Structure 1
Amino acid sequence: MTQRHKLFWTTVQPDRICGVTKRSNNIYLVGMMGAGKTTVGRHLAKRLHLRFVDCDQEIEARSGVKIPVIFEIEGEAGFRRREAQMIEELTQLDGIVMATGGGAVLADGNRRHLVRNGFVVYLCAPPVALYQRTRQDRNRPLLQVNDPQARLAEIYAERDPLYRSVADLVVEGNRQSPFGVVRMLEKRMREQCSA
């Protein structure tokens, strides 16, 4: 951990640092597909001098296939089992910024691991914006339906309360660049820490 990162975190409560315990300096990004978790996560990790991990990319790297192939062969249930194992493993690491998959919050166990082991940030964007960002992406198995915009709205309605239930901080990132979201996130985390 760099000196700058230490200073950022040690300016607040010594026992519990804004939802991040002393043994875990982790930040977990949750939110819908297309919310910007991976892009924001990379930038945030770089600014805080932490390691960035994308849960979905880790699953792909270890399985040797893309997520749509896992969905095709094992179904969503098979993918969710892999995701739960990966989240359990990754939340044991220290000093990471992790982008979770959009459906990671569906499992109680995943939510518990996230809440216990790090500071959870919900990157929130409205379904219309999410659709604009994901409509050309064929690597979104849940959106390969006749009306992907309606399906995205259904998924959002189901998951939004779950994201909010685990979030230490909700960041509305619809109209900002990833850099703007990172700056806003840093500011809001500092404000929350000093409150």
Structure 2
Amino acid sequence: MKITEAEFIISAVRPEQYPEDALPEFALAGRSNVGKSSLINRMIQRKNLARTSSQPGKTQQLNYYRVNQKLYFVDFPGYGYAKVSKVQREQFGQMIETFLGDREPLKMVLLIIDIRHAPSKDDCLMYKWLRHYNIPLTIVTTKADKIPKSQWQKHIKMIKETLEADPHDRVVLFSSETGLGRDELWEVLLSQMEETTENTVASE
């Protein structure tokens, strides 16, 4: 997809702060430092629009990025960082659960997992949440450039088994460094937008 325009819109913590233009939304969920911001930057071909940080737990709101006036990336707070207080973790959980349970423009969640490591308990909980709410999801395994290509399928198998994932779940191998998976992930997002538009039209 050719990117002609990409901009940061708002850091939201409450539903009344969410954009009201009803553009399709694709949320990114994953543990702290898994590479969500780097993935957004690679997808929109901007170096620093999504703020990357060496300090895990930096993102504490839902960060909205609008692309080509057609869709939003919504960057969730990273979970599982020890230095974030228990109260903050509970607030994150409530904020995300509110969003997942009641956000009509949400088309899909990208569950971002570092291919080098088994999913954490929080990853598994997020996966179960998404299944509970019947939200379409795609598993995106980041940092694929950090392990040999010959190991990719073995690691993907380990990730799906740990998540107890549905065999039909799509997995996209991704590297923000090399651009691996960028075109494939755009195909996933655009086809999901087309599918939901067709379903809406059919139901009217």
TM-score, length-normalised on structure 1? Answer: 0.43
TM-score, length-normalised on structure 2? Answer: 0.42
As a proportion of its length, which structure holds more helix? Answer: 1
